[in-house]
Structure formats: structure tokens, C-alpha cells
Amino acid sequence: MIFDKNHNEVKIGSWVKVLFIEPGFISTFPLNEAKIMKAMINKTFKVIEIAHNKALIKQQFSARTGISLALAPEEMELVKTEEAGKVNIAHFPTIH
């Protein structure tokens, strides 16, 4: 079981807002991919897997490439759970 920064349970299918990505991690990527990763902050993504007490999300760079990020509780905030359709914050931003 994993929780977000507010101690809300996060499951596969939940939607989470990315609050933080370690700048040192971002800097290990090529500039164009690093820009995409920076743009992920404050955006909402669907949790595709839970592994090692982290929520995995995916961002596509193109039709064939993308990156999966493993978010720790302090790096995300639950926005919506899929099975209940429950919205946990007033604003549910769109994925860009």
C-alpha cells in the first residue's frame, strides 16, 4: 500500500499530480527530454503500477519513446481514484 503526501491511498488506476522531480535526475537526460520532464511537474498522470513503495506513471516523448517515473509519496498528490470516480481536490487539471 502506498500513500500520497497527504496520506491518501494511491492505487493502480489512480490519478496523481506530480509535485516534484529531483533536478539531478532530470539533468541526466538529453535537453529535449529534460524539458518534457520539467513540464510534467504540476500535471496529472494515471498510475500504471505500484513497485517498491512508489507509484509508476508514464510520459510519452513520441509515438515510440517515453519514460516511466517512480514517484515517492512526497512527490505526488492524489487527484482522483478510478474505481470510485472520487475527486479529492477541487481542480482536476488536464494532461498535456
Q: What does the pLDDT average to over 27-41? A: 91
Is residue 95 assigned to a domain?
A: no
CATH number assigned to the domain comprising residue 47:
2.30.30
Say if 94 falls within a structural domain.
no
∠ CA 72-59-21, rounded to 5°: 35
Q: How confident is the model at residue 65 (pLDDT cuts 50, 70, 90)?
A: confident
Report the number of distinct structural domains present in the chain: 1
Q: Which domain holds residue 17?
A: 2-87
Which whole number is the average pLDDT over 64-79? Answer: 93
pLDDT at 72: 97
DSSP structural state of residue 34? H
What is the average pLDDT across 43-57? Answer: 96
Q: How confident is the model at residue 82 (pLDDT cuts 50, 70, 90)?
A: low
Predicted TM-score of the model (pTM): 0.80
51 lies in a domain? yes
3-state class percentages of the chain: helix first, strand second, coil last, to nearest 5: 20, 35, 45
Is residue 63 domain-resident? yes
